[in-house]
Amino acid sequence: MIQFALRCDDDHRFESWFKSAEAFDKLHKAGMVSCIICGSNQVEKALMAPKVRDSRTRVPAQPPEVTEQALKALKKQVEQNSEYVGMNFVREARDIHDGTAPERSIYGQARPEEARKLIEDGVPVAPLPFLPSRKSN
């Protein structure tokens, strides 16, 4: 895992973890890296100093209201700009990747092993840190 400092075209700055630098490049090229504040996919790596600390120093967490606000903004951006495909996510993602379905932004649900298989096959996907609003019992 690697953490990158990122910046969008509106100069919002945030950090995100990726499996590798290559994984970031693939997701970025596919337009799947977006600002957690405004949703822009015009994101680039920002200058980042390595984090070095001794074992006695604790790193303060972000205030919960900042994290909650960013998650709400991300959820709103995803839901407004993507199609919810529910449990058909794996099939739809693979079909889009293979060119047998129209290219579009989608989100939905997948079992962890299915998501890993998509990533192994080069299909650019990423987990979302929220449940879709359309999910109902």
Domain boundaries in the chain? 1-49+62-80, 82-121
The token pair at 10 is 């509106």
Compute the distance between CA of residue 67 and CA of residue 65 in angstroms, rounded to an integer.
Answer: 5
CA–CA distances in Å: residue 45 to residues 2, 30, 76: 12, 15, 24
Nearest residue to 92 via CA among 78, 108, 80: 108
Residue 60 has pLDDT above 80, yes or no: no
pLDDT-derived band at 54, boundaries 50, 70, 90:
low
Count of beta carbons in the 10 Å neighbourhood of residue 3:
12
Given this model, what pLDDT does residue 137 score? 45
pTM, to two decimals? 0.54
Which residues share a beta bridge with 6? 14, 45
Higher pLDDT, 111 or 47: 111
Tally of residues, the chain: 137
